[in-house]
Structure 1
Amino acid sequence: MTQVTHLIEIQGLKKTYQSGDTRVAAIKQMDFFIDDGEFITIMGQSGSGKSTLLSVLGGLNHPTQGRVLVDSLDLYSLSGEQRADFRSEYIGFIFQSFQLIPYLTVLENVKLPMAVTGQKKKVKNQMALEVIERVGLGAKAFRLPDQLSGGEQERVAFARAIVNKPPIILADEPTGNLDSQTAREIMMMLQSLNKEGVTIIVVTHNSDNAAYATRSLNVRDGECAA
């Protein structure tokens, strides 16, 4: 009998934080899988543990207990340097607060994930300009973030996440600070990327975003249900 392997497997996951004398369980117990090419929304209210889960999935937040397997690779058995290499190759992040460097241009912000790739400057510029064009900001490649609207800054964050062509995109409330029209545009861009074979995982409390997904996971009080 052939063993089914999933792109991402979460096994017995727990994450506890120490706050003074109190232990807070952000993730109480989670077991689930995500297959290659899925578009997953992780739904839940603020404080339910979904953003903590996303940071654990991305190799940014060591779990207290359990395993995170990506392509059968045990993420937290790797050294910090190996995990950084893994993130560079496998994962694009889109943060709710955009996290753009204010004194860098759009082009320079988008090129940031390429710093460790060893490609020539000309190649990096070309790849970055291509994704900037794709998100509709070709005419604003040399502007600074504060010269852009919130929606445009989110597009820069989107371009930065996809510039290395990672197979997995993790997005934390990518529409949280946007008007409804811009939010729809961002979700449609993620959907388009998914149709090209990229696995998309979006943390959101907005039930409208679930319509773009192939499957939703619901997080409540640190536990997860399909």
Structure 2
Amino acid sequence: MTGVKHLIEVHGLKKTYQSGDSRVEAVRNMDFFIDDAEFVTLMGRSGSGKSTLLSILGALNHPTGGKVLVDSLDIYALTAEQRADFRSEYIGFIFQSFQLIPYLTVLENVKLPMAVTGRKKKVQDRMAEDVIERVGLTAKSLRLPDQLSGGEQERVAIARAIVNKPPLILADEPTGNLDSKTAGDIMGLLKS
């Protein structure tokens, strides 16, 4: 179909790493598109390139070749500063290792992506408190990450990813540390 605008378009995507004397092709000649409001699951064995692909789609890791368009914007044609701004406004990340700042409270960690939005502090607080409630951590909003269980830390990472209501959420094993009921609730939250 002509004239169709996709949220993500990937053309000829490649990522190669050098490991000692050998070359590792983590991503090999990928072409695909994802439409707005589409929920896509990426599955594969450990080491098959899933995390590498997510980091490329999230403008964190330069591809060796090919193009990545997000909302028709070639994200690797942007400067590093423009990509950083784009990421903070457009993408919510849920990393496999959570990437929480250890000396910030739950509330402060969740507010982090809003630091560059120009929103007033009261608005940031309200938005952060709302998503913290949605992930069931209101009573723990003033705790530090090391005072939380692994599942609670994961929910903080999820709240941080969705607080700005980004058009694109990239999640690397978003429910890996959650019990089945909480995992189901979180998947529902991510789909909404």
Q: What band does the TM-score fall into relative to the shorter chain?
A: over 0.9
- Write the letter of the residue equivalent to 2:170: L
What is the match of residue 77 of structure 2? 77
Distance 1:181 1:128 in 2: 23
Query: Closer, same or farther in 2 for the Cα pair 1:142/1:123, shift >3 Å?
Result: same
Instruction: Give the structure with the higher percent strand.
Output: 1
- Equivalent pairs counted in the alignment come to 192
- Write the letter of the residue equivalent to 1:23: R
1:198-209 aligned at under 5 Å gives the runs: none
What is the match of residue 131 of structure 2? 131
Distance 2:137 2:62 in 1: 36
- Greater shift after overlay, 121-130 or 67-76? 121-130
Report if the CA contact (8 A) 1:6-1:36 is conserved.
yes
Deviation track 1:111-163 (CA, whole Å, cap 9, x = no partner) reads 11111112222221121111111212112111111222222211111110111
Report if the CA contact (8 A) 1:151-1:178 is conserved.
yes
Report if the CA contact (8 A) 1:96-1:177 is conserved.
no
Structure 2 gaps, min length 5: none
| SS of aligned partner of 1:154 | helix
Distance 2:133 2:176 in 1: 24
Distance 1:95 1:56 in 2: 13
- Write the letter of the residue equivalent to 2:190: L
Report if the CA contact (8 A) 2:135-2:186 is conserved.
no
Distance 2:154 2:177 in 1: 9
Distance 1:143 1:60 in 2: 29
What is the match of residue 36 of structure 2? 36
Distance 2:117 2:5 in 1: 28
Question: Normalised by the size of structure 2, how large is the TM-score?
Answer: 0.94
Percent identity of paired positions between Structure 1 and Structure 2: 80
What is the match of residue 114 of structure 1? 114
- Greater shift after overlay, 55-64 or 120-129? 120-129
What is the match of residue 21 of structure 2? 21
Deviation at 1:176, TM superposition (A): 2.1
Deviation at 1:6, TM superposition (A): 1.1
Distance 2:185 2:79 in 1: 38
What is the match of residue 160 of structure 1? 160
Report if the CA contact (8 A) 2:6-2:34 is conserved.
yes
1:1-226 aligned at under 5 Å gives the runs: 2-191=2-191, 193=192
Q: CA RMSD in A?
A: 1.4
Distance 1:165 1:178 in 2: 22
Deviation at 1:2, TM superposition (A): 4.4
Distance 2:51 2:122 in 1: 36
Question: Normalised by the size of structure 1, how large is the TM-score?
Answer: 0.81
